[in-house]
Structure 1
Amino acid sequence: MAVVLMAGGSEAMAENAAGRFDRPWQGFAPASTMLRADSAESAGLDPGPLAEAERAIEAWTRPNPTRPLFAGAVTLSAHNGVIVSRSEAGQAVRYADASGTELPAEQRVPMRPDTIFDLASVSKLFTSLAVLCLVEDGSVDVDAPVAGYLPEFAANGKDSVTVKQLLTHTSGLEPFIPLWRDWPDKASRIAAVLDRAPKYLPGSRYVYSDLNLITLGVLVERRSGKPLDTLVAERITGPLGLRDTGYNPSAAKLHRVAATEFQSSPPRGMVRGEAHDENAWSLGGVAGHAGVFSTADDLAVLAQAILNGGGYAGRRILRAETVREMLTNHTPQFPGNDHGLGFELNQRWYMGALSGQRTAGHTGFTGTSLVIDPASRSFTILLTNRVHPSRTWGSINLARERLASGLARAMAVCPRHGADAWATGWADGTTSTLTSPQLVATGSAQVTFDTFVDTESSDVLRLEWSSDGQTWQALPMRAAGRGAPPGQVDVLAGAGHRSWWTINADVPAAGQFTVRWRASTDGRYLGRGFYVDRILVTDGDRPLLNGEKEPHLMTPDGWRPQSC
């Protein structure tokens, strides 16, 4: 397996990066990092955005106006080894039937910190980790054809599909087939998956598919000689001390398990303590794509082990070089579908403002999500039972995004120069302007400033000039810094670099003029926003405006001074 190395951060960087969004770490956290609970302030974070996210999650568990977005939730967020926020709200069991008839108050089960959730597709991460354990053992090669390990998988044109293509959802297999309905037993269901013809030419497109991970679960069992649940326990949950993580929770834990859906087809009634996913259930509750149950605390240990480079509390589940490869984008040919080996990467729709090239995670259909951000050594966990009592009640993507963004916005973006910088905040659907006073140049004036931009591509910062204060024209900009756009550009946007850029531009005509910075955001998704610092406008060697010394001359509309 090829290895892509991450550069390690210096000790000086490490000392200054805690609590800072604009000073990303490049390497893993020390392998000795252990989780501890403390205040957000102790980790250098602003508690406000974290508390705001918690309040939003709690509000979504209340009727609005007639029913909640989800019955209940447990959250946990951590930064640099410190659990800085955790909450529980709503009920683990709330409804009696699919129509949403509420149980009597005495029969409802409130959420608690150790509520056990059906992770749904977050289970795919455990299968992927198991595959990589076998890669380290030398019994699996991610670049090898799957058929070399499962000969029957070669059927119907799949002889060249590799293990990596299954891990990255580029095998060409379709997303789903109803195994529970159309095949009579586990053996025939597994055979149906392995026999399935690709819907698309392998390697030609990204298509998220449960069949990929079901196949990998079978591969793990064949190559290890052990059931998938046994191998996961021996190589992952056991070494990490995850006491509540596994398949088919015991009857002794049922009182802590969150209910999922009331199912009529198949006729299962209110599902609780069994895999919600019908295919996983039909495979005995142990499958490569779904079936794992866990708690926020257990997932926190797994997340920290990933941030630590594969180990926790002196026990290692993967080597650091394997984790680096796991968190490397193996699908650059499919922009927007960045994918590591099992982990999704850089998905703003649920990673929110934590998004970046190395931000990794996964979601689950039952209402779960895990986001791990190595650049800030942070992670956030949202566990809900959003399919209780019905999968048709709606999406929780807004909640996923809000929680991750709350953690990102709790970290500071500090001024690059002086006591403060200008910042827009993070409001969607707005236009904010920062305007200079009227200036006069005898020749072509130069505009220089530093900026921190962390947005989606449709949220942009423009530099404009006007000779009359009414008609504005774009000033082409030249940017320098890590991740800066090449050449001249009319707008600045982008995320993941987490670096300040230095910008230069030329006002094309002599005489009277005004310059302004105009930030525009669309209706959904925003990262850490826009920051501008060290504004300097010169006419040759003659200064016309020094923003550090004369901030009072600027006219802000939607911008505000931001200190650190």
Structure 2
Amino acid sequence: MGVPPLDRSRERGVTYTGRKGGGQLSAPRLRIDSPERAGLDPGELKHLVREVRALTGGADPWAAGLVLVAGRGPVIAVEEAAGWAVRYASYDQEAETGVELPPGTWVPATVDTPFDLASLTKLFTAVAAVQQLERGTLGIDARVGAYLPDFRAVVEHGLTVRQLLTHTSGLRPEVALYSCPDDRARLAMLRAEAPESEPGEYVYSDVNLLLLQHVLERVTGRTLDVLVRDGITRPLGMTATGFGPCPGAAATEDQRWPWAKADRGMLRGVVHDENAWALGGVAGHAGLFSTGRDLAVFCRTLLAGGSYGPARILGPDFVELMLTPPGLGFALDQAWFMGDLAGRGAAGHTGFTGTSLVLDPATDTFVVLLANTVHPRRRPADNGPRAAAGTWMARAVRGA
């Protein structure tokens, strides 16, 4: 049985004037209200909350701590925190278990706890890029070499901006920038990076967003952190979102060899990703910290066509461009982490540290799940809980 589309006339206060893609859109701000007011089944959402809370229980939980925010239209119907933002002091390799801090020093996760977003950062870089498309300073099918003529490999292979945004450049998944002795060597590595497979083939790659960061900084004359702050988080009032350091964030990993790529000890408030760390914490693929509430605002903005309250960060046409297959920056209809929300144009992303978000234009719903699954040590990803959250949300829409 399919998920019925939401009657958008229920969103009172939505107005749009002017030519398509060029006018102003006033969309209501998020508010906390009952599932019924959001057009969601309260019983199904209770199941969702119960299942998510259980993920932090036991001696070997899925995550030490987590935050869940979910809603429909302008209503946040679920905002829950469970477990611990900080639980472990280190990881014991011989015992293969976390070394817990004294119980009285554990830090509980709250709905206001920031988390290291990891690859959810890519979505903000993508929005910053599409903003430049809208302004005409960047071309979607322009060659990257036109903006970065000193990056000889991308010039030689004729890679395009679209290929970076859709992971079809053929570039390998990552490069070892963390192994370079200084910024000059890191830049030289990126300039020499050439595709390993035929451009046009999908290969998910952090390098795409690192190159896109350089393109954006070159065409605007501003650093990525400034572009994200001035173009996205500040106008939307996302005051808890930004590149680190973020001292109050949930802890991540006891980062040490041989399981990690750097020897840094237990991390809290500094970026987990080794390449982003090597770049000073600001990178196109990782580095942002945020809260569940702030990411709900981000999701709501895109669902409302690029506007939130009086702020407009993109026109509706350009939001549609981002969320139309194959998606620019966003993954579309991926059941492996979206569950039953996938199938009718749902968009989202996951992050290595345990983060994910899904927004579904067909049902006007969003689900944000922030967790520190790498605390105290990284392990193979288990996407089952992410997919289950999407499935419970889809059931809540169907049962309303």
For normalisation by structure 2, the TM-score amounts to 0.90
Say if 1:109 and 1:48 are closer, same or farther in 2 by CA, change over 3 A: same
Matched, 1:379 2:371: no
- For residue 352 of structure 1, give the secondary structure of its aligned residue in structure 2: helix
1:323 paired with 2:319, answer yes
Cα pair 1:142 1:164 within 8 Å, conserved: yes
1:182-230: per-residue Cα shift (whole Å, max 9, x none)? Answer: x111232132123112101111x10000000010111111111011101
Q: How many pairs does the alignment contain?
A: 376
Percentage of matched positions with identical amino acids = 49
Higher strand share: 1
CA contact (8 A) 1:121 1:363 kept: yes
What CA distance in whole angstroms lies between the structure 1 residues aligned with 2:39 and 2:140? 40
Residue equivalent to 1:525: none
Task: Give the match for residue 199 of structure 1.
Answer: 196
1:153 to partner: Cα distance: 2.7
- Identify the residue that residue 17 of structure 2 maps to in structure 1: none
Q: What TM-score comes out, normalization by structure 1 length?
A: 0.64
1:13-38 Cα shifts (integer Å, max 9, x gaps): 534899xxxxxxxxxxx742221111
Q: Could you tell me which amino acid in structure 2 is paired with residue 259 of structure 1?
A: A
Q: Give the distance between the partners of 1:156 and 1:324, measured in 2 at CA.
A: 28
CA contact (8 A) 2:11 2:73 kept: no
3-state SS in 1 of match to 2:268: coil
Displacement after TM superposition at 1:361 (Å): 0.5
- Residue of structure 1 equivalent to 2:32: 37
Q: Counterpart of 1:97 in 2: which secondary structure? A: strand
Q: 1:309 aligns with which of 305, 312, 329?
A: 305
- Runs (5+) with no aligned partner, structure 1: 1-9, 19-29, 331-339, 414-563
* Cα distance in 2, alignment partners of residues 341 and 367 from structure 1: 22
Q: Which residue of 1 aligns with 2:127?
A: 129
Q: Which residue number corresponds to residue 76 of structure 1?
A: 69
- 1:136 deviates by 1.6
Q: Is the 8 A contact 2:148 2:215 kept in 1?
A: yes
Instruction: Spell out, residue by residue over 1:341-399, the C-alpha distance to the aligned partner (whole angstroms, 9 max, x if none).
Output: 1111000011111112421101000000010001111100000000001002x423111
Counterpart of 1:151?
149
Contact 1:92 1:257 survives alignment (8 Å): yes
* Partner SS for 2:100: coil
Equivalent residue number for residue 14 of structure 1? 8
Aligned to 2:91: 98
Aligned residues of 2:38 and 2:71 also touching (Cα < 8 A)? no
Residue 216 (structure 1) aligned with residue 212 (structure 2)? yes
1:138-287 to 2 correspondences below 5 Å:
138-155=136-153, 158-181=156-179, 183-203=180-200, 205-250=201-246, 254=247, 256-265=248-257, 266-287=262-283
CA distance in 1, matches of 2:185, 2:195: 18
What SS does the aligned partner of 2:387 have?
helix
> Which aligned pairs between 1:373-412 and structure 2 lie closer than 5 A?
373-392=360-379, 394-412=380-398
Q: Which runs of 5+ in 2 are unaligned?
A: 13-24, 93-97
Residue pair 1:158, 1:198 contacting (<8 A) in 2 also: no
Which residue identity is paired with 1:106? G
**Inter-partner Cα distance in structure 1 for 2:154 and 2:110:** 48
Report which of the two has the higher share of helix: 2
2 CA distance for matches of 1:360 and 1:381?
12
Matched, 1:85 2:78: yes
SS of equivalent to 1:45: coil
Q: In 2, distance between residues paired with 1:143 and 1:15?
A: 36
- Between the aligned partners of 2:268 and 2:122, the Cα distance in structure 1 is 20
| In 2: Cα distance, 1:405 partner to 1:187 partner | 47
* Aligned-partner residue type, residue 128 of structure 2: A
Give per-residue Cα distances to partners, 1:432-457, cap 9 Å, x unaligned. Answer: xxxxxxxxxxxxxxxxxxxxxxxxxx
Name the SS of the counterpart of 1:92 in structure 2. strand
| Deviation readout 1:264-284 (Å, 9 max, x if unpaired) | 242211011111000000000
Residue 211 of structure 1 aligns to a residue whose secondary structure is helix
Q: CA RMSD in A?
A: 2.0
Deviation string 1:151-174 (CA, Å, 9 cap, x unpaired) is 123427744110000000000000
The whole-number CA distance in structure 1 between the counterparts of 2:317 and 2:274 is: 36
Identify which of structures 1 and 2 has the higher relative contact order when contacts are C-alpha pairs closer than 8 Å and 6+ apart: 2
After superposition, give the CA deviation of every residue in 1:314-335 in whole Å (9 maximum; x if it has no partner).
11111111101111113xxxxx
